[in-house]
């Protein structure tokens, strides 16, 4: 058998568990379903050894999450149900604002939602987002710009409906 000395060396890699919460939240933003998001997060963490010596582990895990979420959504194709949203949106506290962000995100284009969550939830750079989405950093920048505009427009539309007299 081949020699395997790695296991005797001090473990200097990262524990994928450190990113479990982050992976879950990204999956949640993408899937919109807590149970599925938890399944995906567990799968991603468990697919990796601990410690894991992979470079840019966090970005790698978010990329895995994205692909697993897409696969899951594709398997859901038959289930195209439009559920009534909670229309009781108010704009008077942080929890409501967070709920509104979720609503606005759900209503904008998938590509926009993706870059916004990767940028502002995961805190990735454009280059890192490009690694995950297979786009050049410049293209990510352009996409981000459009995504911000789309988000702001949808946000204004939703918030003004509810708040402004």
Partner 1 sequence: MNEHPQEPMSRQQLEGLFKQYSDSLGEPSRTPYPRPRRSKLPAYAAVFVVLALALVALWPRDALAARLKQIGLAIKDAKTMEMTFSRLQPSGRWVQWLHTYYTEGMWRQEIEKGVGQRETVVTRNGLMLSDYHRLDHATLGPVWKEEGQADFEQQSALDYALDRYGQSASDETVTRSTQGHSDVNGRAAYAIVVDRSGDTPGPWSDHMEIVVDKQTNYPISADIRDVRPGENGGEFKMHQDYRFNMPLDPALFELKSDKPIVDLRESPGRLAKEWAHPLAELGPTQIRDASVTRDGTIWIAYTTNSDDESAAAPTEISIEGARYVSLGAFTGPVGEAAIHLQGQEVEVVGFAPLEVPAKPPFVAVVRFQPESSLNVPPENPPAPFMGAVPLNLTLVAGEYPPYFPLLGYDRAILEVQIATWGARAKGLVDAGRYLDAAHAYERTAKECENFVKYIGYRDLDKAAECYDKLGMAAEAARDRALADALHAARER
Other CB atoms within 10 Å distance of the CB of residue 110? 11
Question: Read out DSSP for 127-156?
Answer: HHHHHHHT--HHHHHHHHHHHHHHHHHHHH
State how far the Cα of 81 lies from the Cα of 37, in Å rounded to an integer: 18
The size of the interface with partner 1 (CB under 8 A), counted in residues, is: 80
> At its nearest, how many Å lie between partner 1 and the CB of residue 165?
22
Residue 51: asked if its preceding bond is cis (omega within 30°), the reply is yes
> At its nearest, how many Å lie between partner 1 and the CB of residue 23?
9
Task: By CB under 8 A, name the one of 68, 124, 129, 131 that touches partner 1.
Answer: 68
Residue carrying the six token digits 């993408």: 30
Does 99 help bind partner 1 (rule: CB under 8 A)? yes
Task: By CB under 8 A, name the one of 9, 12, 55, 82 that touches partner 1.
Answer: 82
151 close to 112: Cβ distance less than 8 angstroms: yes
State how far the Cα of 61 lies from the Cα of 28, in Å rounded to an integer: 14
Residues of span 103-162 touching partner 1 by CB under 8 A: 105-107, 109-111, 116-117, 120-121, 126, 134, 141, 144-145, 148-149, 151-153, 155-156
Does 86 help bind partner 1 (rule: CB under 8 A)? no
> At its nearest, how many Å lie between partner 1 and the CB of residue 51?
9
Does 33 help bind partner 1 (rule: CB under 8 A)? yes
Does 165 help bind partner 1 (rule: CB under 8 A)? no
Q: Which is nearer to partner 1, 89 or 102 (CB)?
A: 102
Q: Which is nearer to partner 1, 38 or 162 (CB)?
A: 38
Measured in residues, the chain has a length of: 165
Does 88 help bind partner 1 (rule: CB under 8 A)? no
State how far the Cα of 120 lies from the Cα of 117, in Å rounded to an integer: 5
């Amino acid at each position: 058998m081949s020699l395997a000395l790695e296991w005797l060396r001090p473990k200097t890699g990262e524990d994928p568990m450190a990113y479990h919460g982050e992976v879950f939240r990204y999956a949640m933003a993408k899937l919109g379903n807590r149970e599925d998001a938890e399944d995906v997060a567990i799968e991603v963490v468990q697919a990796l050894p601990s410690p894991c010596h992979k470079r840019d582990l966090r970005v790698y895990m978010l990329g895995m999450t994205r692909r697993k979420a897409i696969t899951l959504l594709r398997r859901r194709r038959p289930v195209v149900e439009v559920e009534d949203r909670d229309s009781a949106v108010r704009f008077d506290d942080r929890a409501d604002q967070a709920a509104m962000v979720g609503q606005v995100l759900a209503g904008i284009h998938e590509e926009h939602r993706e870059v916004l969550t990767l940028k502002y939830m995961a805190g990735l750079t454009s280059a890192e987002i490009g690694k995950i989405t297979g786009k050049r950093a410049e293209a990510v920048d352009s996409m981000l710009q459009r995504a911000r505009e789309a988000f702001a427009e949808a946000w204004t539309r939703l918030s003004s409906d509810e708040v402004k007299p």
